Amino acid sequence: MTIADRASRILSVLEREYPDAKPLLDYRNPFELLIAVILSAQTTDAQVNSVTPELFRRFPGPGELARAPVEELEGIIHGVGFFRTKAKNIRGAAAMLVERFEGRVPDRIDDLVSLPGVGRKSANVVVSHVYALPGIIVDTHFSRVTRRLGLSVANDPAVLEREIGAMLPESSWTAFSMCVNYHGRRCCTARKPACFRCAVRKLCLYEPKTAAAPAEER
């Protein structure tokens, strides 16, 4: 079995395991998703979801957010990590949307990564979930699980994105990203991977696989 065949089979299994794998960030439009993904860096989706309702109530669009006082933004998003930097980033991104993109969230990766606080991971989230374009979303869960599965040894997210992209057709990129992300959150966790109940155990090359459930989970 080639590595591409194994990646395809892993996707088939995980799609059955996680049939509703969707973004865990709450959003109602492209602008809200963009701002949410900027805020999500190095924090949890739950923390982001706890601050965005008030943020978008006060500043519902790029124009309003671009004019927002940074101190007010810091107060609203104080619950997320690096809130001072993120306050400047979301305000700067909103200003660029107004100045360069007529208030519209762009659908090109190169345009998205030109916005403050937006890297390739965030850009791929936006293009795949807003514009239904193929995207490989390399976050910490994706990196960990693909390494354990033996699909890549790359530590550089850009290299990992290219390698996985070469294994699968573009039409599978988003589904693979989301299913692997969910698997990393719910089964193949960082500290204690639940190999005993892993749906892709037989396709996995992770050597320290646990043979049985811990006593408290039997």
Dihedrals phi, psi of 61, to nearest 5 degrees: -145, 175
CB atoms within 10 A of CB 156: 11
What is 2-71 written as a DSSP string? -HHHHHHHHHHHHHHH-TT---SS--SSHHHHHHHHHHTTTS-HHHHHHHHHHHHHH--SHHHHHTS-HH
Which two structure tokens, joined as six digits, stand for 173? 């990129």
Marked catalytic residue, from 45, 121, 156, 192: 121
Tell me the helix, strand and coil percentages in the chain, rounded to 5.
60, 0, 40
Residue 83 and residue 74 in contact, taking contact as beta carbons nearer than 8 Å: yes
d(CA 61, CA 97): 10
* Residue 139 annotated as catalytic: yes
In what helix (H) or strand (E) does residue 199 lie, and over which residues does it extend?
none
Catalytic residue (choose from 5, 45, 107, 139): 139
Residues with catalytic annotation? 121, 139
